[in-house]
């Protein structure tokens, strides 16, 4: 399956997806064909270029509305023949129109065990709540932020001396395991989204 990845920054999750899909021993069903960033200085763009993957910068500032920006992103993805879209640290909220048009083929990673700690500052929220375990979730994207059926989760125990920074580091390591796993399941057709927004698992769980 042809995959497009949307980023805004560092792109370590993009790196994990590139490493996985380009590892011949993994025999991946996914191929990253396009990386789009809304920021010209996103480090992830360089990571894509290192793998000879096409990149595109589409600055949201060049558009008068979210709808117009999303339509341009959508056009680039469609023109590249993309079949699955991964959000990897993409810091723009996508319009309903965009989300609906990629239903069942649009996934995101969030640095918490959803449905807990949605939105930004997930690690601070986890520390404030005093939970002893947090983690990350790869999920199908719904119009509502950080909602949508969960595909893969990885857990991370919280140490008493963890800070937002140390926790972010630990969770990020697990994100790099979870995201390739989830993309692979989708690309192989092992999961599908039904009309109710629930996952149909092809293999028994």
Active site residues: 110
Nearer to ligand GRF, 29 or 91 (CB): 91
Closer Cβ to ligand GRF, 78 or 121, answer by number: 121
Contact set for ligand GRF, span 104-133 (CB under 6 A): 109-111
Q: Is residue 13 a contact residue for ligand GRF (CB under 6 A)? A: yes
Minimum separation from the CB atom of position 110 to ligand GRF (A): 6
Q: Under 8 Å CB-to-CB from 51, ≥6 apart: which residues?
A: 18, 22, 32
* Sole residue written with tokens 């509502």: 144
Q: Which of 21, 37, 89, 146 binds ligand GRF (CB under 6 A)?
A: 89
> Rounded to the nearest 5°, which phi and psi values hold at 195?
-65, -25
Q: Which of residues 24-83 bind ligand GRF (CB under 6 A)?
A: none
Minimum distance between the CB of residue 88 and ligand GRF, rounded to whole angstroms? 5
Give yes or no for residue 88 binding ligand GRF (CB under 6 A): yes
Check if the beta carbon of residue 15 is closer than 8 Å to that of residue 35.
Answer: no
Q: What is the DSSP letter of 30?
A: -
CA dihedral 136, 44, 182, 113 (to 10 degrees): 10
Residue closest to ligand GRF, measured at CB = 89
Q: What is the nearest approach in angstroms of ligand GRF to the Cβ of residue 172? A: 6
Segments in the chain forming alpha helices (H): 12-21, 43-50, 66-79, 96-101, 122-129, 164-187
Residues lying near ligand GRF in the complex (CB under 6 A): 9-14, 88-89, 109-111, 172, 175
């Amino acid at each position: 399956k042809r995959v497009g990845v949307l980023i805004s920054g560092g792109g370590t999750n993009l790196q994990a997806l590139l490493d996985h899909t380009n590892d011949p021993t993994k025999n991946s069903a996914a191929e990253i064909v396009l990386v789009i960033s809304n920021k010209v200085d996103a480090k992830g763009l360089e990571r894509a270029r290192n793998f000879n993957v096409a990149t595109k910068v589409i600055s949201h500032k060049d558009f008068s509305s979210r709808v117009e920006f999303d339509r341009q992103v959508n056009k680039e993805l469609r023109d590249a023949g993309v079949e699955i879209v991964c959000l990897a640290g993409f810091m723009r909220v996508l319009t309903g129109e965009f989300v609906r048009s990629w239903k069942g083929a649009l996934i995101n990673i969030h640095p918490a065990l959803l449905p807990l700690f949605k939105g930004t500052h997930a690690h601070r929220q986890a520390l404030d709540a005093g939970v002893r375990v947090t983690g990350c979730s790869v999920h199908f994207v719904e119009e509502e932020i950080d909602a949508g059926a969960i595909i893969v989760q990885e857990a991370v125990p919280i140490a008493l001396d963890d800070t937002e920074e140390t926790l972010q580091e630990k969770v990020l390591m697990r994100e790099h395991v979870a995201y390739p796993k989830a993309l692979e399941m989708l690309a192989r057709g092992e999961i599908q989204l039904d009309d109710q927004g629930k996952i149909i698992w092809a293999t028994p769980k």
